[in-house]
Structure formats: structure tokens, C-alpha cells
Structure 1
């Protein structure tokens, strides 16, 4: 008979294990000594210790599910309960009980974590739906479309909710995307129609521009081209594949016209520059007639110069006021000399001037006598008043005499 603290072997080879409830039969051993029997069943016990240790490690360090862990625990507990080993079975049961508590705790933690993740996923999906519904009203077609595609990718990366909630949120999300796509499609359909109208309008403008490109009615045609340009801008853009070609034709027709006009204007400007030089020389000759000393000779010379002036032709517009002003100044001076000569030699005018002079002389003489009389009578106030009147009459008489001369 052999024994140790946790078991014994009796004389019949029956092996027992000691428990709190008393000895339990482990098995029968007939193949060797009792010591070998205890050693064999103790090794089986150590195997359970190792198995429990491995399970504890898996529960603590891996994502072993609670269900799988519980199945493994029950399997080991069944072996412990069958007490086919020799050792501290109570210690094994205690470790298994503790492991069960750990698994239950992990189950609750995972349940809480799963609930938290579900709440976070719900909040995230609700936020995606809200943003999608706001984007559905946007007219920033490109950026909003790109953002909606990014929201779809984000949605796919989120955990699923319960079927009802997930389906309801997805329905709102999908409806917002569809509404945006419908509005964008309608917008671009309208834009295409507008661009087609613009293409037709611009084709008409191009046709008119090309019809005018060889015109020599420079002013009216240039004005019409400005109107066509305003109409072009107001027409809007045509389709991209037509816009550049239409513009090149439209601009090309204008270039033909304005190049021809520029050539003609360049020749005219050169001619007008020569005309300006000639007129400046004539203005210089005319200015030499001043001051007028011989009215008849000055008049004849200016007439000849003016005939030569008229024969020269146009000068540049910006130079015209100055050079014409010089000739007009000479002409006015000659006219003023003619008027002065006429006034001097006009018999009627001289007669009127002589009559006026005689009247003024009589008035001056009369006032002098009245002043002398007032002084003699001692009436100085009256004499002073008459003296002031005399000054005015004398001034008029002096002017009349000068004019008569």
C-alpha cells in the first residue's frame, strides 16, 4: 500500500484521491508498483493544471469568445469532476470558478463595448445622413458630389446597426444622394440647352462678322462690330467643343476688317501729317501780316493764303484746333481793322459823332457858367454838385472828340 497527501493506492491496486467530501476512486492500477500508479495519476493532474493555465492565458490575452471559453471550461471541469487524477482538485475547481468569473466579466465588458460601438455607429451614421441631406440642396455640383462619394465610403466602413435602424438611416442617406443626383442632372440638362442656344446665337454672329470683314465703311462697320461683341458676351458660352472654333472665326473676321482699316488709316494719317506741316507754314505766313498796317494788302494776302489753306485738306483731329485757331486769330484781326476803317470813313457816322460832340460841348460850357454863378452867389454846395456833373460830361466829350479824330 502506498500514499501521498492527495491520494493512495490500496493492496488491491485501487487508486484514491482525497477531497473535501472524502476519498474518491480514481481508477485501478495493476501494471506496476503503487508508487508508479500515484505518479501516473499525478502526471494526469499536472496535465489539467497546464490545460487550465493555457486557457487562463487565452482568456486574458486573446479575443477568445465567451462561448468558446465557457465550452473549454466545462470540458476541463468535467475532467475534474470525474476525479481521474491525483492532486488538489479543489484548487483546480477554484481556478475554474475564477476563470468563469473572468469570462463573465469579459462578456459584460464586450457587451458594453459592443453597445457603445453601436451607439457611436448610430451617431456617426445619423451625422452622415444629416450632412447628405444638407448636400442634397447644394449647387456646388462638383465639390458636393465628391463629398457625397466620400460619405458612402465612410458609411461602408461603419459597423451595421440593428436591421430596422440601419435600413431606415440608409433609406434617408440614399434618398438624399438620389435627390442631389436628380437636381444635378436637371441643372446640366438646362445648361446643355443654354449652351446649345448660345452656339446657335454665336453662329449667327460669326456669319454676320464674316460678311462684314471686307467692308470699307469704316465707321459704321466698326460700330457694328462693337455691337456684335456685346451680343457675343451676352450670349453665354457654347459647348466646349464649339466655343473655341466659333471664337476663332468671329475674332478672325474682325481682324481682317480692322487690319484693312488700320492700313487705310495709316496712309491717311501720313497724308494728314504732311497736311499739318503745310498748314502750320501757312499759319506762320499769315501771322506775319500782323499788326495790320496796310489793310488792302493784308486782305489780299490773307485771301490768297486761305485759298491755299482750303486746297491742302484735312489734318489730324487732335492738331486741328490749334492750327486753325492761329488762322482764325489773323482773320479776326483783319476784320477788326476793316471795322475800324469803316467807322472812321463812314459819313453818317462822322455826322452823328460831330452832332454829339457839339451837344456835349454846349452842355460843358453851360455847366461851367452855372458853376461860376453858384460860386459868385456863395452857394458852394451847388457848385460842388455841378462840378461832379461837369466831370462826367467832360469825359464823354473827350471820348467823342477822340472818336471823331
Structure 2
């Protein structure tokens, strides 16, 4: 015989000292507890528990309203729904679940919109990655790929039907870094072979330095010096003391040679091969300034910069005049290349115009570029001054100083080119 119901309302009831939640939305009645002290106390306890569930739904609404990425709360909502269905409390669950249903519909609409926007952003990032895929500017491109990867992760998911874009992006990024790894492995192998060659030349020089057959040995040392120049650059960490040891062996022998021959000068004048390499690079850079194909000249100038860096002259012994000549030539090439890109984008038939018109266009565009660069420099310097006012004891960051100097150098180069165009125009008009 069924026990008499001790308490009942629309949400639950107590029977046989057991607390039951009435079924809802197709779920059956279920026991949620037992009467411990009294029916009234037990009913109050489970009603209070329902208020806790209500608060969780309220909190979720507040989080979604305040969030920028609202779609990220969908999984939290789904977990909360399951939590409510299994929760032990007395109250209006259908009302709470209805609130969650409406919020879920809003979130899914937002997700559809966001994923469409995410797809547009990721397609743009994919295009940037594709443009960088074949780059051999390992350092700069590595940083750009890291930035792209960070933006990609931050952007969020796309619809499943477009998920192949993820693998496409990963393939490009991984492909670049695989090529970079292979390049440096090959470069390290080349360096190891060069170090081995340098060490062999040092051994030969050390063997010859005490020779008494002076004339024959002097010729051999000269050949060793020529061979040394042709070996190629290696990282300082790998080179060790090979150059110092080689030079010392040369000096020991030729000091004896000079004394034996009664000479006050050096028998063989040794020219620093690194300086010779820099002179060659500088000459090529200055010749590129006369090139009719400024785009090709710009690409070659980038390669020359890398080659200059690879020569590895210690800054203490750098020929500053030579360095300035090289840098100035490269800067002019880059600025001319940028100028011509802007000019031809604004003037489709530039190449067909008379020389006077071409010079006037160059002068106009270059003047505008200088004006914009100076405005940018003034803004940046103002920001730096503001930072220094806030903390006068703090020294200016090296990167800030470097950026300012680069901007000033760009303006200086542009002004040199502008004056050159004006002089050419004046010369034509004076004929």
C-alpha cells in the first residue's frame, strides 16, 4: 500500500520521509534526498539548493554579456544544462533550462558569425604565409611567421567544412622552418669543412715557420695566404684561434726572413681578406645604383647586406668610411625601389612620359614621402620624450634609439635623392 504524501507542491513532494523532485521535460520523478529533522526543514534545504542553481545561471548570463568572445562560453553552458538536469533541488527547472536554451541560440548565432569572420581573417593570414613561404631571409621571416602563428591561434576556430585551412597554414609554416633547419644544417656542415681547412693551413704554417730554406718557404707562405683568403667565413665560435695561430706563424717566419735579408719592410704585405671582401661588396652596391632594373637591384642589395654581415669584421677594426659607403649605396637602392613602386602605382604610364615629367613626378612623390616620414618621426620622438618625463632616471632603450636613428637615416637618404632629382631637372631646363 502506497504511503501517504507528507508534503507536495508543483515542483516536488515528500513521501515515506523521502524528498522527490517532480519530473519535467520528459524526465521522470526522482528522489533527491531524505527527511533528516523535519519535512519543513528538508523542503527549505532543497529550495535553497535550487537558488544556488539559479545563481549559476545568472552568473553565466553576466559572463556572456561582459565577454568579447561570447562563443567561448558555449561548452560551459552545455555543461551547466547537464548539471541542472542532475541537480538535487526543488524549483522551476523548465524555466531555468528555457533561459539556457535562449542563451544557447544566441551563442550559436554568434559563433556562426564569428567563424565566418575567423575564416576571412585566417584566409588573409594564409595569404601572408604563402607570400613568405619561399623566403630565405631566415631571421626576419621567422619573426613574421611567429607573429602570424600567434594571430592564427588568437583568431579562433572556423566551421568544420573549412577546417582544411588549418592544415594548409601549418604545412606552410612547418615547411618554412624545415627549410630553415636544413639550410643551417648545411651551413654548419660547410663551416665545419672550412674550419678543418683552416686548421690544416695552420698546421702547414706552423711546420714551415722554422724552415731555413727562406726563399722557397716565403713562396710557400704566400701560397698559404692566398689559400686562406679563399676558404670562406666561419662563425667566430667555431673558428677559435685559427687566424691568430696562422698570423703568428707568418710573423715568426717573416721576422727571421727580414733579418736574414737585411730588409726593414715586410716581404709580403698581407691584406685583410675581410676588408677585400667588403670593398668588393661596396663596389657592387654602388654599381647597382646605376641599374635600370631597380627591383632586381633591390633584391640583390638585400643579398649584399647578408653577405656583408657574413664577412664578420670586428666593429673595433671596421673601416668606417667603407661601411658608410656601403650602407649609403644600399639605402639609396631601397629608397629608390620604394619610390618607384609608389610612383608607378599612381602613374600607370610613367615610363612613357618625357624625362622632365618623370623627374617632376619623382620630386612631388618624394617630397610627400619625406613629409610623412618627418611627421612620423616627430610623433615618435614626442612619445619617447613623454616616456622619459615619466621616468627621468631610466635610460632610453636601445631599440628605441635604433628605431629613431633608422627613421632619421631614411629621411636623410630621401632628401639626398630629392636634391639629386632637382639638380637633374634644373640641368635639363638650363639647356
Q: TM-score, normalised by structure 1?
A: 0.41
Higher helix share: 1
Q: TM-score, normalised by structure 2?
A: 0.39
